[in-house]
Amino acid sequence: MQRRFVDMLAAHKAVAQYGSIQVAAKELGEPYETIRNRYHKAIEVLKQPDVRHSKMSVAREPVAYDENNAPRSALIMELPPIRDGIGIVFSDCHWTTLEQPRSISHEALLIIARHLKPGFLFCAGDAVDMGAVSRHPPLMWSDVKKPGVKDELAAAQTHLRDLRAAAGDPQCFWVRGNHDDRWDKHLAAHAAAFEGMGAFTLADQFADWPMCYRLDIGDLSIVHRWHGGIHSAFNNALKSGRTIISGHTHALDVRPLNQWGKRIWGVQAGTLADKAWPQFNYTLGVPGQHNQGFVILTWRDGALMPPEICEVSDGAAWFRGELICGRVRVKAGRHG
């Protein structure tokens, strides 16, 4: 019996040294089946680890799953469920300079924030445009000179500060969009040696707006983008089984969905940007689904009420049937 254990340990040692049973058998001059059987017996009977690749590659013993210490994605932020409160979700501001006048939906957002005093403000991404560090070439000669990063930073910091003040200092969160990421992507590609320096990342510039890529609040998730197309809001809710609010498309849309005893919504948060701004020259003037506006959320007794929208239509912003700001454009044939 002692000799058998010695053979098991010898086979195990050889496999550890050479990295595989086949190579170990060849080096020892033993049949493959013999070394294989001894090696597996060493693992089974003598409780030796499986070392077939540990000496020949970067593979190592994996860490066992621990249910009490399960890892969480650094991209996701989770908030406790909200029992009673109001939140406003705005998206796709694409701010470039302070010289660029605020849009109608931006003005409406400030007015409604002052009136409702929401406890939460959620930016659903693309607060900045970052055209100066974009990988896309200019579309026309007028696009060659784009606003600098400093100008965009000043615009975003100023507008977010004013919005927070109008709302009465609520909790603020920023779900990053693809345009926001242009900042860190450019620096990571061209100035990686400065990683870790103060005020180097976009998040460093907006310390009072914690950033993530997905924000979960109970049965609600806010993301910048997921599914695309005209049915993106419906598909987001259908395929997640929860209420999803997204940006990116610049569309403004609330799609209800009944899911086995509960009501959920797929929501597109619209945009605070004006499509006439030069950063949207790439649309070549076609209408598309671009719609100024934003979303108002209300929680009562822990339940999310049907999401509401403030929408810009015919040159004016409307909320709950009331004119918020702007000037209604009278179309031909309209009387009154």
Task: Note the pLDDT of residue 326.
Answer: 93
Q: Are residues 141 and 278 in the same domain?
A: yes
Which two three-digit tokens encode residue 326?
Answer: 């702007």
The CA–CA distances, whole Å, from 16 to 22, 49, 114, 183, 191 equal 12, 10, 70, 47, 43
The residue from 19, 37, 67 where one domain ends is 67
Q: Residue 143: pLDDT band by 50, 70, 90 thresholds?
A: low
Q: Are residues 132 and 46 in the same domain?
A: no
Q: Are residues 135 and 195 in the same domain?
A: yes
Task: Note the pLDDT of residue 266.
Answer: 98
Domain residues for the domain of 61 are 2-67
Rounded distance between C-alpha atoms, residue 331 and residue 315, angstroms: 11
Identity (one letter) of the amino acid at 206?
Answer: F
Number of Cβ within 10 Å of residue 326's Cβ equals: 19
Establish how many alpha carbons lie within 13 A of residue 153's alpha carbon, considering only the half-sphere containing its beta carbon.
15
Helix%, strand%, coil% for the chain, nearest 5: 35, 25, 45
Per-residue buried b or exposed e for 96-120, using 16+ beta carbons within 10 Å of the residue's own CB: bebebebbbbbbbbbbbbeebebbb
Q: Residue 104: pLDDT band by 50, 70, 90 thresholds?
A: very high
Q: Is the pLDDT of residue 72 over 80?
A: no
For the stretch 274-325, pLDDT in tens is 999 988 888 888 888 899 999 999 999 999 999 999 999 999 999 999 999 9
Task: Note the pLDDT of residue 211.
Answer: 97
Rounded distance between C-alpha atoms, residue 107 and residue 275, angstroms: 16
Task: Note the pLDDT of residue 46.
Answer: 87
For the stretch 307-320, pLDDT in tens is 999 999 999 999 99
Q: Which residues contact 293 (CB under 8 A, 6 or more apart)?
A: 105, 108, 252, 270, 271, 309, 310, 311, 312, 317
CATH of the domain at 89: 3.60.21.10
The answer to whether residue 303 is domain-embedded is: yes
Distance between first and last Cα of the chain:
105
Q: Are residues 186 and 105 in the same domain?
A: yes
For the stretch 15-26, pLDDT in tens is 888 888 888 888
Q: Are residues 37 and 82 in the same domain?
A: no
Q: Is the pLDDT of residue 336 over 50?
A: no
Q: Are residues 60 and 197 in the same domain?
A: no
Percent of the chain whose pLDDT exceeds 90: 63
Task: Note the pLDDT of residue 24.
Answer: 87
Query: Radius of gyration of the chain from Cα atoms?
Result: 29
Q: Are residues 107 and 220 in the same domain?
A: yes
For the stretch 208-243, pLDDT in tens is 999 999 999 999 999 999 999 999 999 999 999 999
Rounded distance between C-alpha atoms, residue 236 and residue 253, angstroms: 12
The answer to whether residue 267 is domain-embedded is: yes
Q: Are residues 82 and 55 in the same domain?
A: no
Q: What is the mean pLDDT of the chain?
A: 90
- CB of 117 closer than 8 Å to CB of 296: no
For the stretch 34-55, pLDDT in tens is 998 999 888 888 888 888 765 4
Rounded distance between C-alpha atoms, residue 307 and residue 297, angstroms: 5
Q: Who has greater pLDDT, 207 or 3?
A: 207
The answer to whether residue 243 is domain-embedded is: yes
The answer to whether residue 61 is domain-embedded is: yes
- CB of 211 closer than 8 Å to CB of 174: yes
| Residue 229 DSSP SS3 | coil
The residue from 34, 49, 67 where one domain ends is 67
Count of domains for the chain:
2
The answer to whether residue 335 is domain-embedded is: no
Q: Are residues 136 and 264 in the same domain?
A: yes
Rounded distance between C-alpha atoms, residue 87 and residue 116, angstroms: 9
Q: Are residues 200 and 235 in the same domain?
A: yes
Q: Which residues contact 90 (CB under 8 A, 6 or more apart)?
A: 109, 121, 122, 123, 124, 269, 270, 272, 294, 295
The answer to whether residue 50 is domain-embedded is: yes
Which DSSP helix (H) or strand (E) runs through 297?
strand 293-300
The residue from 67, 87, 108 where one domain ends is 67
Number of Cβ within 10 Å of residue 92's Cβ equals: 27
pTM exceeds 0.85 for this model: no
Rounded distance between C-alpha atoms, residue 217 and residue 210, angstroms: 15
Q: Residue 331: pLDDT band by 50, 70, 90 thresholds?
A: low
- CB of 270 closer than 8 Å to CB of 91: yes
The answer to whether residue 334 is domain-embedded is: no
Q: Are residues 201 and 104 in the same domain?
A: yes
Q: Which residues contact 246 (CB under 8 A, 6 or more apart)?
A: 91, 124, 222, 223, 224, 225, 226, 232, 233, 236, 267, 268, 269
The answer to whether residue 131 is domain-embedded is: yes
Q: Are residues 262 and 237 in the same domain?
A: yes
Report the range of poorest mean pLDDT among 56-65, 73-82, 145-154, 247-256. 56-65
